[in-house]
Amino acid sequence: MFKRSTCQCCRLPTLLSSDGFEPCTVCGWDDTRLEDGLTPETAREHLLQNGPANQTAETALSNPARMELIAYAMSVLNGHEKLDSALLESLLLADEMAQDF
């Protein structure tokens, strides 16, 4: 199993690198957004209210694994489910495999 770094915005362990430049699969955060004046805290509020802005209808059609991942992540973020790291990991891996096609 990969050791993942925690995303500053959604605070889920989604990142394979910790350099800050890998966009989070769940919320789309990366550190370049700091240059636009956005903070992880502000982005997190938007995320909790509106869901991930980086996930489009096209994503849903082309990558059902991504939608499953987002649905689970949002349910954890909203406190409906406890974080199960093994489940999150398997959803992240399914999403990464789906992107290879």
DSSP-derived letter for residue 9 is T
All residues at 6 or more sequence positions from 45 whose CB lies less than 8 Å from its CB, including other chains: none
Q: Which of 21, 24, 55, 72 binds Zn ion (CB under 5 A)?
A: 24
Give how many residues touch Zn ion by CB under 5 A. 7
* Least distance in angstroms from the C-beta of 25 to Zn ion: 8
70 binds Zn ion (CB under 5 A): no
- Amino acid making up residue 23: P
Residue 13, classed as helix, strand or coil, is strand
2, exposed or middle or buried, with CB in 10 Å at 0-12, 13-18, 19+? exposed
- Using the rule CB under 5 A, is 43 a contact of Zn ion? no
Asked if 26 is part of the footprint of Zn ion (rule: CB under 5 A), the reply reads yes
Q: Which of 7, 69, 70, 88 is in the footprint of Zn ion by CB under 5 A?
A: 7
Applying CB under 5 A, among 6, 22, 27, 41 the residue interacting with Zn ion is 27
By the 8 A CB rule, do 48 and 78 touch?
yes
Q: Which residues bind Zn ion (CB under 5 A)?
A: 7, 9-10, 24, 26-27, 29
